[in-house]
Structure 1
Amino acid sequence: MVDPDPGDMLPEYDFTQMKGVVRGKYASKTKNHPRLIRIADDLSDLFPDDEAVNAALRDYLKGHAVEAHSG
């Protein structure tokens, strides 16, 4: 048998028996926070900050019909 990855959850873990465990306890706190998106190194050299990326994307979208993505 292959040893499990140290970061894997083992089947014998039973969190239902732990006190104070609430599923999704902090989910609402991240609801309105911005999503972080990684930009490739070769592209990040061209954009000094998030405002430059947003401006370039908005400029690109002016010439392209794109349906909004929710999620």
Structure 2
Amino acid sequence: MKKVKHEEIRKEYKLEDLGKGIRGKYFEEYKKGTNLVLLSPDVAKAFPDDASVNEALRSLLKIARQAKGLTRRST
């Protein structure tokens, strides 16, 4: 992948149109623990919304916990 120099931007962008950046714009959200995850397109097709993703992950966690209990030796 070609590395772009910091001073290079696309020709269609004009620095005066971009305005100044705002320091810490998303800091409060970050502190709250917002955790965004980018799903691959094939995975995203299977899950229409965040609730379905959460439900699937909770089910997987439950199965993993149950399977972990099966591997312990009884004494």
Give the alignment's TM-score, normalised by structure 2. Answer: 0.50
Give the number of the structure whose residues are more often helix, by fraction.
2
Please tell me whether residue 32 in structure 1 is matched to residue 62 in structure 2. Answer: no
Q: CA RMSD in A?
A: 2.8
Percent identical pairs in the alignment equals: 39
* TM-score, structure 1 as length reference: 0.53
Does 2:44 correspond to 1:47?
no
What CA deviation, in whole Å up to 9, does each residue of 1:14-70 have, x standing for no partner?
Answer: xxxxxxxxx96963x1211521100000000000000000000000110113xxxxx
Unaligned runs of 5+ in 2: 8-22, 66-75
Structure 1 stretches of at least 4 aligned residues deviating more than 4 Å after TM superposition: 23-26
Count how many residue pairs are aligned between Structure 1 and Structure 2: 47
Alignment of 1:1-71 (within 5 A): 5-6=5-6, 27=27, 29=28, 30-65=30-65
Larger Rg: 2
